[in-house]
Structure 1
Amino acid sequence: MAKTKKTVLVVGNFDVLHPGHIRLLKFAKECGDHLIVAVNEDDNMSVKSRISERHRLEMVQSLECVDEAFLNEADSVTLINQYQPYAVVKGKEYEEKDNPELDALKSYGGKLIFGSGEFETNAEQFIRRTPSIGKNFDYSEAKRYASRHSITLESVLEAFDSIKQLNVLVIGEVIVDEYVQGSAVGLSQEDPTIVMTPNKTDTFLGGAAITAGHIKAIGANEVSLISVLGEDSAADYVTQHIDKYNLSEHLLVDNSRPTPLKTRYRAGNKTLLRVNQVRQHKISKELQNTIIDIVKSKVSSLDLLVFSDFNYGLLPQSLVDAITLLCHEHSVKVVADSQTSSQVGDISRYKGMDLITPTEREVRVALNNPDDGLVILAQKLARKSGAKNIVITLAEEGILIHLPNKDFSNWENDNLSAVNKHAVDPAGAGDCFLAASSLVIAANKMPWLAYYLGSIAAACQVGAVGNTPLDFNVLKKAVIDSFE
């Protein structure tokens, strides 16, 4: 007897196709054999889309997991009666809501399944793509993004001019990054360990130092840096090399803490192992008071303050709150990045920020939420943190942009794919994105433009090993190329 094909139906607007949509549709396909997607027509949407119905349909059709897609003018119950699918799949956020599809499905034994897909999934691989434009950069999605947000070359160049007037203060851990480059010889005969022969070691200033370095290199007027170092060889390296970043630095000393040192062992373009030499206890009250005094001496002349938090104890909550209050009292824009990779952090503890740029994992850790889709995650983070702008960075998948309204009851989203699909070293992408985006926001330009420039800056940064300040001329050329 022939097996009956299990048809799965998904209905949605797919306003701006982002990785959350792709994961949902991949999950839906795994629930059956044949995936049908009904893309609502413009007239069947409660909120007008920035994207034409034809383009929304084409984007859904470009997904390998979608077997059939069409423009839809009917409601879900009508479609269920017409197609009688084995299952209808909806996002996890609908599980506790009223679902009119349920009765229609029960009438013939159909299923209503809720899920948002696995967040570890790399959604990029499920898109049927045409060859990249140029050797490394693919501007195709960036061009469409610029078009729907009325971003022009002139508006970006104007933003560059405005950035030149800004004074910025960066606070956070300075990290010394070592790259030990070598050749992978093979597996050890004694135990299953990769053996490599090192032949070159490169050292860079990372963490808050590189964030400040990017901000200065992109064109800010004056950039100050506050950090705490240990008494060790890594601290010596920092003090000997920080001058080349053209910063006004305030490097305090705590001999109970080592200067953070991260060593990456690489073979070819792959990192085999990373060793972190750090300590995570909080800095003393005395050092906290010193930092507050430095901020007080500068805040009246600042346009932007950046928290570059790697969660090694330099930014305890009381210090963050005191500095944030000072900035709000002086109308200084405040942005934050709180990295949670090998350490534990909580981006939501940064309240009332003008911009936060967490990774997806950092959002899920902050909310203790492994289930919800990306948009719902972003909105829950907005409510918890009070952030005016949220960008969830998704590595090679690009970024999900979330703009809540003033009372966080509504929002607008967009997605911008990674411009550089062939990253040599992704380590500095987030720092560079934060630097460029926050400068545009501090210059009071529209957030959409900020994330456009940030994405191109990140694409330039990941093209070489090591996190060094982005050359402004490289960034400007990449921006010009993106409009050709």
Structure 2
Amino acid sequence: MDSIPSFTDSRVLVVGDIMLDRYWYGDTGRISPEAPVPVVRIGDEERRLGGAANVALNLARIGARTRLIGVIGKDEPGAATRGLLADAGIDDDLVESSDHPTIAKLRIVSRNQQLIRLDFERSFAMDGAFDRTALVARVRAALASTDVVICSDYGKGTLADIADVIQLARAAGVPVLVDPKGRDWQRYAGASLITPNAAEFEAFVGHSAVDDGIEADSWLAEQATHTRRQLDLDALLITRSEKGMNLFAAGGDLHLPTQAREVFDVTGAGDTVIAMVGAGLGAGLSLPDAAAVANLAAGIVVGKLGTATVSPAELRQAARAQRAGDQGVVDEDVLAEWFVQARARGERIVMTNGCFDLLHPGHIAYLEAARALGDWLVVAVNDDSSVARLKGPERPLNDLAHRMQVLRGLASVDWVVPFSEDTPERLICRLLPDVLVKGGDYEVSEISGGECVINAGGEVRTLDFVPGFSTTAIVDRLRRDDDR
């Protein structure tokens, strides 16, 4: 996954169990005289969308065009849920039940610790709980304007007819993603993808006798392949907490290591994962790339308290941090592709070039000044043969590999690319950075590749070197010292 796409054209339909999560916050400083329990003086209250509604909220927060179908009661929590959906810009097409309350969960929190959770719910699975025909009809009507369907099953009965939903969507050519619940997965047969966590998967296939290592991974792959065939699934994405995620698909298996730096609360992480996969597919990503976006998002959301979402800015920042960990020496073909992606993200690329034979304080100051002109700094480096032609047969002092290794270690340098010609004109004209930088007293018209950059709408800048430093001067001084 090279970049975060725009999700604004992604049209996702979420169907499933809708919940209202309520949080009461307060201080506690004494034990009740009535029973050995803390007394909490409630100060603040917060309401959040939960279950399938939280999946929809995750989608809306990243800009996806989101519609939610589910069941609520004709009660105050149901009205509150509708209000939160409207505030989030989510199109709701909800079925109301006169006999069953909206599913609600109340958490009492003190000093960032959850003391108790109170659940208010009755299963919608029983006959007459709501109009199931109306729910399926809503799904059928929405498919014409839907790129991806997500079924968020929390086992509360809304998706008792999920087989009909899957069949309708697949017949319309729309992929169906399912977040499963319980052990009866046969009703998910024919789905495009299901996204269990490790515990849910083992509850279905049975517990592994091996907890870790190569044998455990082999067992997981074997069971996943068997499950895909058994349920006629296109793919299976298993989330494994600190072990990351594993995607098993016909096109090949993929392991995605965890991106979480600190785990604070895993509540709602599964909602985020399936939402990001759905949004990614709707935006045109391949399944592996969509899973990579979901993995980034999961690493962010587990660092937040309670059911939470991620923003496009957070995703871009996480993706950039991931790319920064991979940055370094690269060939020009790979770099050319990366330039296209960076431009699509609206990022400003600065490029400079040189021999950088013997790095000194003048180089450091120059590269830091160049990096300050944009989001990324690319340094093109003369190979050994071109340095010898330019500087003489005794140069370079350090070979190309060592020169690039030193440059890639600098905080100011993002990418290092070699070139073999005496000037980088061909390379610069191919890559076309936003800003081309050269040090010294050059005229802009004298800078190799400058004309190409300017003609493409870019900018050419000259920066002053720090006086008193040059590789040639340092080499001459060392030679004079040796002659004494």
Question: Where does residue 238 of structure 2 map in the other structure?
Answer: 392
**Corresponding residue to 2:90 among 203, 222, 247:** 247
8 Å CA contact retained: 1:432, 1:458? yes
**Corresponding residue to 1:298 among 142, 150, 163:** 142
Report deviation, 1:382: 2.3
8 Å CA contact retained: 1:347, 1:362? no
Q: Deviations over 1:237-274 (max 9, x none)?
A: 11222201212211211122211111122233332322
Question: Where does residue 331 of structure 1 map in the other structure?
Answer: 173
Report deviation, 1:197: 4.0
Report deviation, 1:281: 3.9
In the alignment, the residues of structure 1 paired with residue 198 and residue 298 of structure 2 have an alpha-carbon distance, to the nearest angstrom, of: 17
1:416 matches 2:254: no
Report deviation, 1:315: 0.7
Question: Where does residue 256 of structure 1 map in the other structure?
Answer: 99
SS in 2 for 1:441: helix
1:337 counterpart letter in structure 2: D
Q: What percent identity do the matched residue pairs reach?
A: 24
Q: Deviations over 1:312-338 (max 9, x none)?
A: 11111xx21111111111110110112
1:351 matches 2:189: yes
Larger RCO of the pair (alpha carbons < 8 Å, separation 6+) = 1
Unaligned runs of 5+ residues in structure 2 are 211-215, 325-484
SS in 1 for 2:279: helix
1:273 matches 2:119: no
SS in 1 for 2:267: helix
In the alignment, the residues of structure 1 paired with residue 187 and residue 201 of structure 2 have an alpha-carbon distance, to the nearest angstrom, of: 11
Report deviation, 1:164: 2.8
2:168 counterpart letter in structure 1: L
Q: How does 1:396-407 map to 2 (within 5 A)?
A: 397-405=242-250
Change (3 A) 1:415 1:468: closer
Question: Where does residue 61 of structure 1 map in the other structure?
Answer: none
Q: How does 1:167-182 map to 2 (within 5 A)?
A: 167-182=11-26
Question: Where does residue 307 of structure 2 map in the other structure?
Answer: 467
TM-score, scaled to structure 2: 0.59
1:200 matches 2:37: no
Root-mean-square deviation (CA, aligned residues, Å) is 2.6
SS in 1 for 2:123: coil
Q: How does 1:421-436 map to 2 (within 5 A)?
A: 421-436=261-276
8 Å CA contact retained: 1:346, 1:362? no
In the alignment, the residues of structure 1 paired with residue 185 and residue 27 of structure 2 have an alpha-carbon distance, to the nearest angstrom, of: 38
In the alignment, the residues of structure 1 paired with residue 134 and residue 321 of structure 2 have an alpha-carbon distance, to the nearest angstrom, of: 45
8 Å CA contact retained: 2:163, 2:187? no
8 Å CA contact retained: 1:335, 1:353? yes
8 Å CA contact retained: 1:375, 1:402? no
How many residue pairs get matched?
315
SS in 2 for 1:425: coil
8 Å CA contact retained: 2:149, 2:278? no
Report deviation, 1:433: 1.5
Report deviation, 1:420: 2.5
1:365 matches 2:231: no
In the alignment, the residues of structure 1 paired with residue 171 and residue 298 of structure 2 have an alpha-carbon distance, to the nearest angstrom, of: 32
In the alignment, the residues of structure 1 paired with residue 105 and residue 306 of structure 2 have an alpha-carbon distance, to the nearest angstrom, of: 12
8 Å CA contact retained: 2:264, 2:304? yes
Question: Where does residue 58 of structure 1 map in the other structure?
Answer: none
1:382 matches 2:382: no
Unaligned runs of 5+ residues in structure 1 are 1-150
SS in 1 for 2:268: helix
TM-score, scaled to structure 1: 0.59
| Rg (Cα) greater in structure | 2
Report deviation, 1:235: 0.8
In the alignment, the residues of structure 1 paired with residue 86 and residue 287 of structure 2 have an alpha-carbon distance, to the nearest angstrom, of: 32
Change (3 A) 1:281 1:435: closer
Q: How does 1:27-42 map to 2 (within 5 A)?
A: none
1:230 matches 2:73: yes
Q: Deviations over 1:173-198 (max 9, x none)?
A: 21111122234546667765455443
In the alignment, the residues of structure 2 paired with residue 311 and residue 199 of structure 1 have an alpha-carbon distance, to the nearest angstrom, of: 33
